[in-house]
Amino acid sequence: MQLTPISMKGEQMRTMSTNKLSAIVRTASPTPFSAVLPPATPTTVALSSHPPHRRTRPPLAMETCPSVKNILLLDSEGKRVAVKYYSDDWPTLSAKLAFEKSVFAKTQKANAGTEAEIVMFDGQIVVYKFIQDLHFFVTGGEEENELILASVLQGFSDAVDRLLKNMVDKRTALENLDLILLCLDEIVDGGIVLETEGREIAEKVTGHGLESASSAEQTLVNALTQAREHLAKSLLM
């Protein structure tokens, strides 16, 4: 059998070559990257309900003011003349009276004089001194400075001495009880020490006296003074 050669024109050969090349390129083209990856799923980010931790500076230490828990003025038998409490350590009257009785019994045999003495009693610091038949006490917490408590005691006794005109005894104290109570108010307010200088305390107390009072106030003060003197006489009988 005789083969008949097929002759093709140049244009036909170029067309066929181009078609084959296109087919090869289409076959060899890589799969698009998006087709390989699985479809993206939305991601939910859970936000914490707690605020982010922030490092805070420790608070600065606050200075505490000098303070006292009570000031007592008792007679030579341990009975009240004038007292002021500034602490809830003794919430009832019976608790206060029991403390006064105990602290008096603790100190009555001491050779205390005009100089302040210090004793630890029932977890408290008690400074005290005796003048005539009056016993002066100032009580503070066990962490309180003894020198500050002693200065409060000294200021109180000095002011009383000035107000009573150097006649520091139970009878004169009862006759001038209002001045002594004002004296306590000038020394301490809510347990915070305000003044420890006896002269300053006495001057502040006398500033509340009759000089600045109206006539109506003077009449009321005179009536109270007479009632106070009558009460003092009845107590001393």
CATH at 100: 3.30.450.60
pLDDT band at 153 (very low <50, low <70, confident <90, very high): very high
How far apart, in Å, do the first and last CA atoms of the chain sit?
168
pLDDT band at 207 (very low <50, low <70, confident <90, very high): confident
**Is 16 among the domain residues?**
no
**CB-based contact 78:102 (threshold 8 Å):** no
Q: Is the pLDDT of residue 51 over 60?
A: no
Query: Residue range 152-157: average pLDDT?
Result: 96
- Using CA atoms, how far residue 141 sits from 70, 87, 132, 156, 167, in Å, is 10, 10, 28, 19, 32
**Is 6 among the domain residues?**
no
Select the more confidently predicted residue: 146 or 17. Answer: 146
Q: What is the pLDDT of residue 25?
A: 44
Q: What is the pLDDT of residue 108?
A: 86
**Is 62 among the domain residues?**
no
76-91 per-residue burial string, b: 16 or more CB within 10 A, e: under 16: eebeebbbbbbeebbe
**Is 24 among the domain residues?**
no
Q: What is the pLDDT of residue 197?
A: 95
What pTM did the predictor assign? 0.62
**Is 55 among the domain residues?**
no
Number of separate domains in the chain: 1
**Is 52 among the domain residues?**
no
**Is 65 among the domain residues?**
no
Q: Is the pLDDT of residue 112 over 60?
A: yes
> In whole angstroms, what separates CA 107 from the centre of its chain?
32
Range of the domain at 220: 70-236
